[in-house]
Amino acid sequence: MPSFDVVSKIEWAEVANAINQAQKEIGQRFDFKGTDARLEQSDKVIWFYAKGEDRVRAAWQVLQEKLVRRKVSLKHFTADDPLPGPRGDDKLKVTVEEGIAQEKAKEIVRLLKDSKLKVQAAIQGDLVRVSGKKRDDLQEAIAHLRAADFKIDLQFINFRE
């Protein structure tokens, strides 16, 4: 029975490269001189520190440009509001989200069931497996999921006959 998996994964190597490029640019740009602007990554959180809320937002903008250039979807990133940090600095927390949350997976399954396509969808951890009798039905399901906006970046992998 043909099937495929719907996932939401991120290329961590590309994210690390984008962070390194952003750090270099922030260190060299004139508008960041004297603001002590820096980035720190810990697990699935990226912290931006700088003197001034506008410089923190500008540092986040620099990273966004680098991520887009490396074809990393910005749907994986959620930025909070800047907070006052230590030593009079401001800090900004950006959370990296990977995988499909349970609520989003239920939305995907519900959308496929409501579409009246001859496919079955099952939630398996942080992915959704879609199976059907015909390859054409699966391709229609992929097109249907691409047309819907779930506010997350979806990839379709493991297409099997």
Based on the number of CB atoms within 10 Å of its own CB, is 19 exposed (0-12), middle (13-18) or buried (19 or more)?
Answer: middle
Question: What is the radius of gyration, based on Cα positions, of the chain?
Answer: 20
Domains and CATH numbers, the chain: 3-8+100-160 (3.30.70.860), 12-96 (3.30.70.990)
Q: Residue 96: its pLDDT value, please? A: 92
Q: Residue 66: its pLDDT value, please? A: 94
Q: Residue 130: its pLDDT value, please? A: 92
Q: Residue 85: its pLDDT value, please? A: 72
Length of the chain: 161
136: Cβ contacts below 8 Å, ≥ 6 apart: none
Structure tokens at 89: 């600095």
First CA to last CA across the chain, in angstroms?
6
Consecutive sets of 10 residues in the chain, 161 residues long: mean pLDDT of each? 90 92 90 84 90 89 94 92 81 91 91 89 90 89 88 86 78
Q: Residue 61: its pLDDT value, please? A: 94
